[in-house]
Amino acid sequence: MNPTLEANYFDGRTARAQRARVSVVGGELRIEFTGGERRVPLVDVQWPERQRHSPRIAHFAARAGGGSLHGDDTLSWDAFVRGLPAAARAREGWVVRVQQSWRGTLVAAALLVAVGVGGYLWGVPLAARGVLAVTPLEADAAVGRLALEGVEGRWLQPSKVAPADRERLAAAFARLVEAAFPDPRTRPAYALRFHASRIGPNAFALPGGTIVVTDELLQLTEGRDDVVLGVLAHELGHVRARHGMRMLVQVSLIGAATSVALGDFSSVLAGVPALLGQMAYSRDAEREADAESVRLLRAAGLSPAVMVEFFERARAWRQSPAGRKHGADADLGIAFSSHPADAERIAYFRDAAR
């Protein structure tokens, strides 16, 4: 007997639900509804992960024409899915999961934008803040993984720094984070990665907590671990305040609102690595991360003067032959030393060191 399922069918073009009878015919999902029938190859159907309280929604890939099925009877839905060929039930990729968790979020964003929080300039940052508040942290992690893949190919190579040096630095940073956040429940999650790079002596953080340190930064600091720790503490500040995510939400918001209407999120996600490459954090975000750096350094008994030391070394590097050769195309927008520090920032750390 060929099992069937009753579900609501959305064609992906209109917001109208149609009652449909669903069955599997020769590697395809057959969806019969009043006035028509549609076939979608099983490989193009993304089933939701089975969780007790998650809504039962299956999405059809854009290449199959988009659309979705919504189940209201979870028991028969689950039974139907269990009866599918194993390959067709394969756990969906994380992109889909992000898209789904973002769906509600982005709808909220679209609404916020639609009701018009006022002018573009102050409306969008406000809306971005609201969106971020309801975006689960898992979305940051997934976006961070995507960003790392994009960044790795273009800017990073395997580290050539001796493992002992990397371990020493990682341990020192772990101690600093522990000192600043004695309560493990409030301690921000991060993952330190070391890479040779073409972005010079640098470090950057990705949504979700991955912090990348370049070999060139370790060369520049010549064993001054305290200087590297100051830079890493700044990056952890970006992670904790979700600055990368906020920036992405902010720049994607207008486009995302349109995408929600069209039911297509892949275009938003596809732009993530490029956006992180081109964009720089706002001045306010940098100030916030600098303040975090000062706080963490102090908690670990280190002087904020290490940051002044870094800026001086970075300036010397920029004027060296290697620094001169370093083209603007090799800059990563979100990275620490891609933008020379201004006098105000240097003065901030100098004052904090007093």
Beta carbon of residue 6, minimum distance to Zn ion (angstroms, whole number): 53
User: HEC profile for 105-122?
Assistant: HHHHHHHHHHCCCCCHHH
State both tokens at 340. 């020379």
Rounded least distance, CB 125 to Zn ion, Å? 18
For Zn ion, the closer of residues 128 and 236 by Cβ is 236
Q: Residue 193: which of 155, 139, 246 has the closest Cα?
A: 155
* DSSP-based three-state secondary structure for 206: coil
Task: Identify which of residues 76 and 338 has a Cβ nearer to Zn ion in the complex.
Answer: 338
Q: How far is the CB of 206 from Zn ion (least distance, A)?
A: 12
Please say whether the beta carbons of 42 and 24 come within 8 A. Answer: yes
- 30 SS3 class: strand
What does the buried/exposed string (b/e) look like for 16-50 if buried means 16 or more CB atoms within 10 Å of the residue's CB?
eebebebebeeebbbbbbeeeebebebebbbbbee
Query: What's the min distance (Å) between Cβ of 80 and Zn ion?
Result: 49
Which is nearer to Zn ion, 147 or 289 (by Cβ)? 289
Tell me how far, at minimum, the Cβ of 289 lies from Zn ion, in Å: 5
Helix (H, G, I), strand (E, B) or coil at 303: coil
Determine the interface stretch with Zn ion among 259-267, 282-290, 300-308, 338-346 (rule: CB under 5 A).
282-290
First to last CA, the chain: 80
Residue that the structure tokens 């908690």 belong to: 299
Choose one: 106-114, 285-293, 300-308, 315-323; the region binding Zn ion (CB under 5 A): 285-293
By CB neighbour count within 10 A (0-12 exposed, 13-18 middle, 19+ buried), where does 232 fall?
buried
Rounded Cα distance between 26 and 61, Å, is 18
Residue 217 engages Zn ion in binding (rule: CB under 5 A): no
Distance in Å, CB of 234 to Zn ion, minimum: 6
Q: How far is the CB of 166 from Zn ion (least distance, A)?
A: 22
Instruction: Name the DSSP letter for residue 10.
Output: E
DSSP state of 48: P
Complex with Zn ion: residue 230 or 263, whichever CB lies closer = 230
- Kindly identify the residues of this chain, within the stretch 292-321, that bind Zn ion according to CB under 5 A: none
Closer CB to Zn ion, residue 4 or residue 338?
A: 338
Closest CB 336 distance from Zn ion, rounded Å = 5
With respect to Zn ion, which residue has the nearer C-beta, 146 or 289? 289
The site that binds Zn ion (CB under 5 A) totals a number of residues, namely: 2
Pair of tokens at residue 343: 């006098």
Pick the stretch among 23-31, 57-65, 215-223, 280-288 that binds Zn ion (CB under 5 A). Answer: 280-288
Residue nearest to Zn ion (CB): 289
Which residue lies nearer to Zn ion by CB, 225 or 286? Answer: 286
**Closest distance of CB 73 from Zn ion, Å:** 50
- Per-residue CA distances from 111 to 57, 58, 107, 140, 254 (Å): 22, 24, 6, 22, 11
Cβ–Cβ under 8 Å, residues 132 and 240? no
Please say which residue, 216 or 286, places its beta carbon nearer to Zn ion: 286
Instruction: Choose between 112 and 128: whose C-beta lies nearer to Zn ion.
Output: 128
Q: Is 289 in the site for Zn ion (CB under 5 A)?
A: yes
Sequential DSSP letters for 83-144: TS-GGGGPPPPHHHHHHHHHHHHHHHHHHHHHT--SSHHHHHHHHHHHHHHHS-HHHHHHHH
Tell me the window of 107-115, 143-151, 156-164, 286-294 that interacts with Zn ion (CB under 5 A): 286-294
- Residues at the contact surface with Zn ion, assessed by CB under 5 A: 286, 289
